[in-house]
Amino acid sequence: MITKDVSYDAGSKPVTGYLAYDEKRGGKLPGILVCHQGGGLREHEKERARMLAGLGYVAFALDVYGEVAQSREQAMELLNGMIANPRLWHERVLAGLAQLKSQPNVDMAKLGAIGFCFGGSTVLELTRITPDVVCVVSFHPGLTGLPEKDERPMYGKVLVCAGEKDPLIPPEARERFISLMKAAKADWQLITFGSAGHSFTDKSVDAFGMPGFNYDAATDKRSWAAMRQMFDETFGAL
């Protein structure tokens, strides 16, 4: 497996992403963009990129911030600053997508994205700003800030994996998400896992001691399997 850091410019911001692929697989392969949590690009997302590479995908974990938060307060400052500036947010995400598209072994007709927490919200936003990504999977995104209406077109299939106990995805947020998907006539799925809270894919989250934020091994495994089924359906089994 080939893994390497990739430095690039996201607008005027120098950032460093992470590329992973299996060099033994020939030909053009589906490319998957991996979008990080609110704290920045960490080992969690790099591990997921390697897992995707092991399945036969070319995975690129983008860097939206250009830094890694050293505290919860800094993470929230970075996250909220990005969401408050959609033009900058989109610029940074599309710059990461451009890095994935530039890889010579990527099939440009088979591009997908996955994201976790803030990254989960990012891939949902991605479906509104480019038709190039044909499938996204959003793991425990924050859905409390969804608008009542979104008149933008929507591209690609959507799968959201959410914990029923997630404080950032209360029942009313799930209903608003469903309403937006219906209004957009999207191809969408929402899977709600009864035992899970927020960040259920992140083994390091329990150390922060935040109520409703817990790693859940069973939900992590089940949601990853749901992602694989979606990718097999969309890109063909590898």
- Percentages helix, strand, coil for the chain (3-state, rounded to 5) are 35, 25, 35
Confidence class for position 225, pLDDT limits 50, 70, 90: very high
Residue 41 belongs to domain with CATH number: 3.40.50.1820
Q: Is the pLDDT of residue 201 over 90?
A: yes
With vertex at residue 113, the alpha carbon angle to CA 109 and CA 116, rounded to the nearest 5 degrees, is 175
CB 134 within 8 A of CB 234: yes
Percent of the chain past pLDDT 90, that is, above it, reads 86
Confidence class for position 68, pLDDT limits 50, 70, 90: very high
CA dihedral 194, 199, 201, 202 (to 10 degrees): -140
DSSP state of 206: G
Q: How many domains does the chain have?
A: 1
Confidence class for position 208, pLDDT limits 50, 70, 90: confident
Boundaries of domain holding 25: 2-235
pTM of the model: 0.95
CA distance 111 to 100: 9
Interval 23-51 mean pLDDT: 95
Q: Each residue of 152-167: pLDDT tens digit? A: 999 999 999 999 999 9
CA distance 182 to 178: 6
Interval 140-146 mean pLDDT: 89
Q: Is the pLDDT of residue 144 over 90?
A: no
Confidence class for position 12, pLDDT limits 50, 70, 90: confident
Q: Longest C-alpha distance within the chain, in Å?
A: 47
- pLDDT attached to residue 211: 85
In what helix (H) or strand (E) does residue 94 lie, and over which residues does it extend? Answer: helix 86-101
Q: Each residue of 81-131: pLDDT tens digit? A: 999 999 999 999 999 999 999 999 999 999 999 999 999 999 999 999 999
Higher pLDDT, 146 or 231: 231
CA distance 171 to 215: 21
Q: Is the pLDDT of residue 71 over 90?
A: no
Cα–Cα distances (Å) from 8 to 92, 102, 138, in that order, read 11, 12, 25
